[in-house]
Structure 1
Amino acid sequence: MAGTLHPDKELQRFNTARENLGQYFRFKPRSAFFNIIAMGAIPVGLVILGYNYEGKISMRDIFRKEPVLNKEYVPRDKDL
């Protein structure tokens, strides 16, 4: 039964590349720049954007085209 299993060549190639990553990747100023941009500037920019627009844009109004209830909701006594 085990003789019918064949190893996946692409998976073996990926594992070999992963083991030899240090031979191909060097931490240089250019890679440091891209890491700072990807892990620092983009998240910080999104946080600043989120805090500036907090509560000013109603996502419900953007995506909802019709009201959930067609008539005015009156809560029951046990809901209060």
Structure 2
Amino acid sequence: MNILIEIINNIFRVIAAVLAGYSLIIGNFDLMPYILFFFGVSILISGFVELQREKKSFWGYMRIAYALFIFWGLIKSFLLN
């Protein structure tokens, strides 16, 4: 199960990196909400994995807080566009 979660997490990271690279090369930043989504899901998964490894880990909670902040920005960007 842990290997499956790591594979899914790596897939989200690669998708975010490819979309970010594409946006930088092309110069079109319309894909930014999708990049934020994949990046936020990756950080959220990392936070939950960290909490499962160590009980009451500060960095696990911080990663979840970062992911929620990213999702807040994502929702705000969808509502403004």
TM-score norm. by structure 2 comes to 0.29
Larger RCO, structures 1/2 (Cα 8 Å, 6+ apart): 2
Which structure is higher in helix share? 2
Give the TM-score, by structure 1 length.
0.30
Structure number with bigger Rg: 1
